[in-house]
Structure 1
Amino acid sequence: MRGTQLPEGTNGGYVVVFDDVTRLVAAQRSAAWGEVARRLAHEIKNPLTPIQLSAERMQLKLASKLSAGDAEMLDRSTQMIINQVQAMKRMVNEFSAYARMPAPELGQLDLNALISELLGLYESSQNRINIELDAVLPAVWGDASQLRQIIHNLLRNAQDAQEGVEAAQIGVTTRVVEGMAELLVTDCGPGFPPEIMARAFEPYVTSKAGGTGLGLAIVKKIVDEHQGHIRIKNRQPTGAEVSIRLPLAERLTPNPITTTMTETTNES
């Protein structure tokens, strides 16, 4: 908010200007988290390979020289080291993905086709998947690779949220809302905890045991770069809903007729 007093010659008074800086603050926060993720990935990744190689070398050199009991303890210990290193490598890869996400290569895409393609990966899922795709959904303006990442992330989150839930179901819906294509993914899990709701899109905020909290942060970053919107809410009596809206290609693609007329006018 900024304000100033008007000159007396204009009958006085004050002018106050309010600026909505929500997107600016979100962009600054995202950039800051990206730098943190980049540094963490760099600092953590370097020692991981030597740690794993050292554990494997100890196992190879010492196993045959120890008694059965000691060899078994060595095997358990080295395997534990290797497993934990692999887990940290996966975490580092997620850090890198968040910090080094390339700019989207935008073009006209069939969102329904992308969804159908990825749903094939969940054919063996124990969750029942209810699909309602708008048969006349217009093309969206997006990056196919990054939108696949979004869809896969949301489906995996919905699946993870329903571990141990009887009659687990995932809903996938597309439709046109307010001139944008909307993707809705719902589940029947416990929903978002109250303490997570306000910070769900911040990196490293998660309710999953062992989770990095980067999933929704990456989704939010991709959606923002596509000039879209994302919203989460809890359903009643139980479950969660994630809504993503993306611009339609027809609203962002230049009109070829207008372009041609402009060029003709310039040549004249």
Structure 2
Amino acid sequence: MAEIGNMTSGLAHEIKNPLSTVGLNAQLLAEDIDHLDAPEKEKVKITKRLDSLSREVHRLKGILDDFLQFAGRMKLHCEEIELRLVLSDLEDFYHPQCDRESIVMRMQMPENPVMANVDASLLKQAVLNLLINATHAMQDSEQKELMVRLETTENEACIHIIDTGNGIEEDRISEIFHPYVSSTQGGTGLGLPTALRIAQEHSGHIVLNSTVGQGSDFTLCVPLYK
């Protein structure tokens, strides 16, 4: 299985490199359109086709990036981290996206520091994937509220990502963490599996509670630093 994983990762890299070249050449061709000796109507048609090509290249690169992160070997660089600071950084980063989507984003943090031995970059990626998933879940909701809550138990730090989306049917809950399972148009279906894998690499887990018509609570838990 490890050999197959290495082969597929290598194949993805081999596809990604020429794909970048295709994207670059599409961009260069688009810049040369104005100098083309052709009717304006023809220039517009070519520009639209190049724009379509660039969008598809960008989409495929995104799929490959997600796959490489999911299938590749994760090397954790863990250190003692204050989780409130990690989540505060993510709030600053993601708030503009919420504003664009007309989503009210709220944070609930404990008064005291919450320390965990984690890879801050990977943990941010896992939480970001959950935030993106929550945003997609609220696309058709009248009330759009996104709550990020940090709590602690005796042994764990738990990060809740709570949305007011449509919720998830009980028979689908067991499958949404499987690769390439996605109900979002254009989604790769790797965001949630990658978040789960990152949690598990930290000896943690993700718990999902969801009510159809009300929303979902994805809770990522990692061990507290002791």
- Within the candidate set 60, 65, 88, 1:116 is matched to 88
1:132 corresponds to which residue?
108
* Aligned-residue offset at 1:81: 1.2
1:153 corresponds to which residue?
129
* Aligned-residue offset at 1:177: 2.5
| Aligned CA distance change for structure 1 residues 237 and 53 (closer, same or farther; 3 Å) | closer
CA distance in 2, matches of 1:203, 1:36: 18
* Aligned-residue offset at 1:80: 1.2
Correspondence 1:48 to 2:24: no
Correspondence 1:226 to 2:202: yes
* Aligned-residue offset at 1:160: 2.1
CA distance in 1, matches of 2:20, 2:87: 37
2:70 corresponds to which residue?
98
| Aligned CA distance change for structure 1 residues 201 and 35 (closer, same or farther; 3 Å) | farther
Correspondence 1:75 to 2:47: yes
| Aligned CA distance change for structure 1 residues 32 and 205 (closer, same or farther; 3 Å) | farther
SS at match of 2:36: helix
| Aligned CA distance change for structure 1 residues 52 and 170 (closer, same or farther; 3 Å) | closer
| Aligned CA distance change for structure 1 residues 62 and 169 (closer, same or farther; 3 Å) | closer
2:159 corresponds to which residue?
183
2:192 corresponds to which residue?
216
Runs of 5+ unmatched residues, structure 2: none
Task: Report the AA paired with residue 79 of structure 2.
Answer: G
2:61 corresponds to which residue?
89
1:171 corresponds to which residue?
147
* Aligned-residue offset at 1:54: 5.1
RMSD over aligned Cα atoms: 2.7
Task: Report the AA paired with residue 243 of structure 1.
Answer: T
CA distance in 2, matches of 1:49, 1:131: 38
TM-score, normalised relative to structure 1: 0.72
CA distance in 2, matches of 1:213, 1:33: 20
Structure number with larger C-alpha Rg: 1
SS at match of 1:81: helix
TM-score, normalised relative to structure 2: 0.84
Moved over 3 A (4+): 31-37, 49-63, 193-196
Identity of aligned residues (%): 27
Greater length-normalized contact order (CA 8 Å, ≥ 6 residues apart) = 2
- Please tell me whether the aligned partners of residues 168 and 212 of structure 2 are also in contact (alpha carbons under 8 angstroms): no
SS at match of 1:123: helix
* Aligned-residue offset at 1:235: 2.8
